[in-house]
Amino acid sequence: MASVQPSAAALAPQRPSTAATLPSPSISPRVFPFPRTRARRLEVAARAMPWPHVLTVAGSDSGAGAGIQADIKACAALGAYCSSVITAVTAQNTVGVQGVHAVPEDFVGEQIRSVLSDMSVDVVKTGMLPSAGIVKVLCGSLRKFPVKALVVDPVMVSTSGDTLSGPSTLTIYRDELFPMADIVTPNVKEASKLLGDVSLQTISDMRDAAECIHKLGPKHVLVKGGDMPNSSEAIDVFFDGKEFIELRGLRIKTRNTHGTGCTLASCVAAELAKGATMLHAVQVAKKFVESALYHSKDLVIGNGPQGPFDHLFSLKSPLYKMGSLHKFNPNDLFLYAVTDPGMNKKWGRSIKDAVKAAIEGGATIVQLREKDTGTREFLEAAKACVDICRSSGVPLLINDRIDVALACNADGVHVGQTDMPAWEVRELLGPGKIIGVSCKTPAQAEQAWKDGADYIGCGGVFPTTTKANNPTLGFEGLRTVCSASKLPVVAIGGINAGNAGSVMELGLPNLKGVAVVSALFDRECVTTETRSLRSILMNACSKS
């Protein structure tokens, strides 16, 4: 721990914050500029840091696609420790479930007490609970050993259609377990059973189901729509008792869907154990499942209709960037540097040198906007910039050119209103990449959110010479879009050292930073200008 310096992105402040003196970012972030004694203190603190801990109470899947096997793999992939209590042993494979042997209730209780009495569990996640007695044992144990959160995945039917929990467990689920739950995550089939076999065919039906299940006691409900008929998207409905949020994702065409429900609930539990809010935990979990399905869609294990997917795909896929999976950090937008070929030419800089200088000054994200550069030259420069940005932990996006982004394995793309829509960009790039969209109106911001973008760029805030015929929104237009946006916002257009502070001092909801072009790259020393602008932004954030 003591040998790694925080990246520039990690140093971006979260508003509100107090003014702080931070070390300047460096292209070579491998050595702490601290005395040996401080490095030692950091090392000791790291060792004392608690490990996020999830306890899964679920059945064992002999095929290892679902159940506790999926739970453990999912938690490990997201950096959480996962202990386990086995409620049943199943004989199952990719064809189906051949047998279920429930573990005696007393021994389930003994397992639970053994872990909870000793191991500082943060979150308990439930899966297959084959009997009402086991549910009662679990509820009693949680009253004696309370945890930070309880995630309930009401597993009743396997992916192949085999019954895993009898109808006698429904009443005890509703009466005792749900009122203790922080979130319940049924798919549409399970939601239907919980509500007396009601028909769920539309998004409106899913909303109604989420509201009805919420009345049974859980703080949050996620009704998963992966099995919804006639849907081109994988749409889940999240309900917190006040607001419905539709979470849209790609529908991956693959047979390898066994264990998706177990995995999603375990990812939610892992993120909660790490301190995430419930909505963020759900978003990360959905992105993880989508990414895992995408990266292992052609995997072949077994001869049945439902194969498993690879939870540890990130270890094997060179095109997969783990940092992008966790729903990119909105604070990366804090100081957003956008390159310009004309300015680079004017000052005799290469794209690579311009990007390197901006990062040295403290840029937290970089966009290559090279409209006049030939494809071959642009691609070679983009590959070099990817290497620079990766070594510094700074995301690199490509403006418009999805082909270049794919070829150089950039972290994502930024598109405008006349370019390819974000949902089509997502289909080409796949999950795990950052997508930004330029927006000038609340309607455009809403569409960007529906299309699956990660952030929006709003402007021009001020008049600018870098984009022809670009209407100026001013503070009022920026305020209107920020107030309506469900996505993080970066302000752009005519922003410089003289007005950047006033933009951030507005304290607008979702406004995470400013994007600049001329103020950085049409200057003699990019590093100096970037460092100065970063200081201005930090001071402004400390006041707002």
Among residues 127, 259, 436, 452, the one annotated as catalytic is 259
Measured CA to CA, the distance from residue 132 to residue 286 in angstroms comes to 30
Alpha-carbon Rg of the chain, whole angstroms?
A: 25
242 catalytic per annotation:
no
Assess whether 235 and 173 both reside in one domain: yes
pLDDT band with cut points at 50, 70 and 90 for residue 24: very low
Structural domain includes residue 34:
no
At residue 53, φ and ψ (nearest 5 deg) are: -130, 125
Question: Is the CB of residue 271 less than 8 Å from the CB of residue 289?
Answer: no
Sheet of strand 233-239: strand arrangement? 97-102, 81-92, 53-61, 123-128, 149-155, 183-184, 220-223, 233-239, 244-250
Question: Is the CB of residue 102 less than 8 Å from the CB of residue 90?
Answer: no
Assess whether 310 and 340 both reside in one domain: no
Question: Is the CB of residue 327 less than 8 Å from the CB of residue 286?
Answer: no
Domain boundary among 317, 338, 371: 317
Structural domain includes residue 362:
yes
Structural domain includes residue 245:
yes
- pLDDT for 164 equals 56
Measured CA to CA, the distance from residue 459 to residue 470 in angstroms comes to 8
Domain boundary among 279, 296, 317: 317
Among residues 75, 262, 267, 408, the one annotated as catalytic is 262
Measured CA to CA, the distance from residue 428 to residue 516 in angstroms comes to 28
Assess whether 208 and 168 both reside in one domain: yes
Assess whether 384 and 310 both reside in one domain: no
Assess whether 427 and 334 both reside in one domain: yes
Look at strands 511-516 and 489-492 and give their pairing. parallel
The residue range of the domain holding 531 is 330-543
Give the single-character DSSP code of 255: S
Assess whether 94 and 126 both reside in one domain: yes
Percentage, residues of the chain above pLDDT 70: 85
At residue 442, φ and ψ (nearest 5 deg) are: -60, -35
Residue 207 has pLDDT above 70, yes or no: yes
261 catalytic per annotation:
yes
Structural domain includes residue 178:
yes
Domain boundary among 283, 317, 351: 317
Assess whether 307 and 377 both reside in one domain: no
Residue 325 has pLDDT above 50, yes or no: no
- pLDDT for 317 equals 52
CATH of the domain at 102: 3.40.1190.20
- pLDDT for 263 equals 96
Among residues 63, 67, 133, 261, the one annotated as catalytic is 261
Q: How many domains does the chain have?
A: 2
Could you read off the pLDDT of 492-540 as tens digits, one per residue? 999 999 999 999 999 998 999 999 999 999 999 999 999 999 999 988 8
87 catalytic per annotation:
no
Assess whether 198 and 342 both reside in one domain: no
Residues 443-452 have a mean pLDDT of 90
Among residues 126, 257, 263, 364, the one annotated as catalytic is 257
Please choose, from the candidates 86, 88, 62, the residue with its C-alpha nearest in 3D space to the C-alpha of residue 166: 88
Among residues 73, 125, 193, 224, the one annotated as catalytic is 224
Assess whether 388 and 504 both reside in one domain: yes
Structural domain includes residue 2:
no
β-bridge partners, 438 = 457
Structural domain includes residue 246:
yes
Among residues 56, 87, 185, 260, the one annotated as catalytic is 260
254 catalytic per annotation:
no
Residue 25 has pLDDT above 90, yes or no: no
Please choose, from the candidates 186, 301, 316, 311, the residue with its C-alpha nearest in 3D space to the C-alpha of residue 255: 301
Measured CA to CA, the distance from residue 372 to residue 366 in angstroms comes to 18
- pLDDT for 18 equals 34
CATH of the domain at 434: 3.20.20.70
Structural domain includes residue 323:
no
Cα separations in angstroms, 420 against 235, 290, 354, 502? 22, 21, 28, 33
Please identify which residue in the block is written with the tokens 């049924």.
186
Structural domain includes residue 374:
yes
Residue 58 has pLDDT above 60, yes or no: yes
- pLDDT for 149 equals 97
- pLDDT for 246 equals 86
Please identify which residue in the block is written with the tokens 């009401």.
154
Assess whether 311 and 341 both reside in one domain: no
Assess whether 241 and 354 both reside in one domain: no
Mean pLDDT of the chain: 85
β-bridge partners, 85 = 57
Residue 49 has pLDDT above 70, yes or no: no
439 catalytic per annotation:
no
Residue 229 has pLDDT above 90, yes or no: no
Assess whether 150 and 194 both reside in one domain: yes
260 catalytic per annotation:
yes
